[in-house]
Chain A
Amino acid sequence: MSNHAEVLIIGAGIIGCATAYYLAKKGISVLVLEGSDSIGDGGSSRNGGGVRQSGRDPRELPIVMYGIRHIWPNLKDELGVDVEYYQEGNLRLGKTEAHLKILEVLTQRSVQCGLDVKMISGVEAREICPYLSDSVLGASWCPTDGHANPLLATLAFYRRARQLGARFITGEKVAEIRKLQGAARQVVTQNNVFEGDRIIVAAGMESRPILNTVGIDVPMTPLLLETLVTEAVEPMFYQMLGTAAADFYGHQSTHGSFVFGTNSGLEPYAKPGKTVSSSVSASAACRGILSYFPVLADLKIIRTWAGWIDSCADHVPVISPVEEVPGLIVACGFTGHGFGIAPPVGMLLSELATGSELTLDLSDLRYDRFKAR
């Protein structure tokens, strides 16, 4: 089989899989190289599933707003897999006056970008979600936010892209990108050399050393993220939850289990290397969750997992062509909020790769925006 494709994608996470889908749908030949043995083994399978606009930076907000308006509601039909998308709103909760101030600033910023989000009282929050503790003083409320199943959404893009002819190779670790006559052209792995007219790097944290081989650097560091899953219970509520104190976030899934992300405060000092859950985070998460939802005290935790966030210097991703290395396109540094935004990012990357007119402006997310003090 030929080792050439019109577009070569490095990384089969949800960004790479979605991009492969949009390109394959246009009849473009695509080859996706994944270093891990499984598709979507990085952040794509290790996140809280938020499909959220509220609380986002104004530079990336228009992209996720586009996705929620035009892509997420139809994704199930488009991909032929139920990705368990719920659009039942996002409650970001506050228990102190200081929390409410944080929420007001976030809300104000999103309203200026045209997002339907507002502050509500504790009483109003309990009308939306009756299981909330009386200690909740207020919340921000964005009715068009929601959540989906990241495992299924990632694999659904992969499945459909593969059906449309995209070629995927897993366990194929990329060593370097090589230029030919000044343009990015070859991707060298342990076993092979592949060629692409365009090369898209969407490999999470691994993007950094790969980009370094052609002299490009994106300032980002790995940040541990830990999540826990409960046993399944009867449907209670489907809002996405967050807090001003950032002590937990999460939602109930179609399956009935709750998926809760945690923040123990010790994540920046996690042991480097293998992604393993720490011994302290699940307990910290339980304390956080129960202080907002005491009704869940007897619910059992059945599983925990951990992953690495590619935390970018200014907390928004790089989604950008690299003019100084013609043919190279970068999508990385999603900083822990890459899942909800992934479908429109895949669409935009397919436009960049084919030279079509961009549906949305990406100039705030360029690779060369980082300046020293």
Chain B
Amino acid sequence: MAKDRTKEIGAFAAAPDDNLIICRCEEITKGEIRSAVHDGMFTLTEIRRYLRTGMGLCQGQTCSRLVKAIVASELGVTPSELEPAASRAPMRPIEMRILARDLGGDQHE
């Protein structure tokens, strides 16, 4: 859907819970997320690329719903209007020495 990024959402206003950690893996606070929206980051994908929310060890499995609610509230839309950021393989962190053993390269068994 077409979205004009000049949309007026008002100035960033500090709040008492701005220091609350939302993304625990990357230690990103609620205030940083709200402030990023005022920097023009209107999609969850942009927020993730700008702040690293959901880019740590758990890949957003813990915080993505919280981030979505905060961004939606800041933009004045409902959370269901925001597309989630893409999930990426692998499902769990995996060591390079294990991932390397997929029978490609010169390996034959």
Residues of A within 8 A of B (CB): 1, 37-41, 45, 151-152, 154-155, 158-159, 162, 167-172, 189-192, 229-232, 255, 264, 277, 280, 282-284, 286-287, 289-290, 296-305
Q: List 6 A-B contacts (CB under 8 A).
A: A1-B6, A169-B2, A277-B88, A283-B104, A301-B99, A303-B88
What is the bound-complex CA distance between A45 and B46, given in angstroms? 10
Question: 10 tightest A-B contacts by CB?
Answer: A286-B100, A151-B49, A300-B93, A283-B102, A168-B5, A297-B97, A38-B45, A286-B96, A303-B88, A38-B43
B13 at the interface (CB under 8 A from A): no
Contact of B5 among A167, A284, A297 (CB under 8 A): A167
Q: Which residues of B contact A41 (CB under 8 A)?
A: 45
A169 touches B4 (CB 8 A): yes
- Chain A residue nearest to B5 (CB atoms) is A168
B3 at the interface (CB under 8 A from A): yes
B4 touches A167 (CB 8 A): yes
The number of chain B residues with a CB under 8 A from chain A is 36
B89 at the interface (CB under 8 A from A): yes
What is the bound-complex CA distance between A14 and B77, given in angstroms? 28
A290 touches B3 (CB 8 A): no
Given contacts A39-B46, A152-B50, contact A290 B2 (CB under 8 A): no
What is the bound-complex CA distance between A164 and B45, given in angstroms? 23
A287 touches B5 (CB 8 A): no
A230 touches B90 (CB 8 A): no
Given contacts A159-B40, A255-B52, A303-B88, contact A191 B2 (CB under 8 A): yes
A300 touches B94 (CB 8 A): yes
Q: Which residues of A contact B88 (CB under 8 A)?
A: 277, 303-305
A158 touches B40 (CB 8 A): yes
Given contacts A37-B3, A162-B6, 19 further A-B contacts (CB under 8 A): A37-B43, A151-B50, A168-B4, A171-B3, A280-B102, A282-B89, A282-B90, A283-B99, A283-B100, A290-B100, A296-B96, A298-B96, A300-B93, A301-B96, A302-B59, A302-B90, A303-B88, A303-B90, A304-B90
Q: Which residues of B contact A192 (CB under 8 A)?
A: 2
Q: Which residues of B contact A301 (CB under 8 A)?
A: 90, 93-96, 99
Q: Which residues of B contact A289 (CB under 8 A)?
A: 96
What is the bound-complex CA distance between A40 and B2, given in angstroms? 16
Given contacts A151-B49, A283-B104, A302-B57, contact A172 B99 (CB under 8 A): no
Closest chain A CB from B53 CB (angstroms): 12
Closest chain B CB from A224 CB (angstroms): 15
B16 at the interface (CB under 8 A from A): no
A155 touches B41 (CB 8 A): yes
Given contacts A39-B46, A155-B50, A171-B3, contact A297 B101 (CB under 8 A): no
- Chain B residue nearest to A191 (CB atoms) is B2
Closest chain A CB from B24 CB (angstroms): 14
B11 at the interface (CB under 8 A from A): no
- Chain A residue nearest to B45 (CB atoms) is A38
- Chain B residue nearest to A281 (CB atoms) is B104
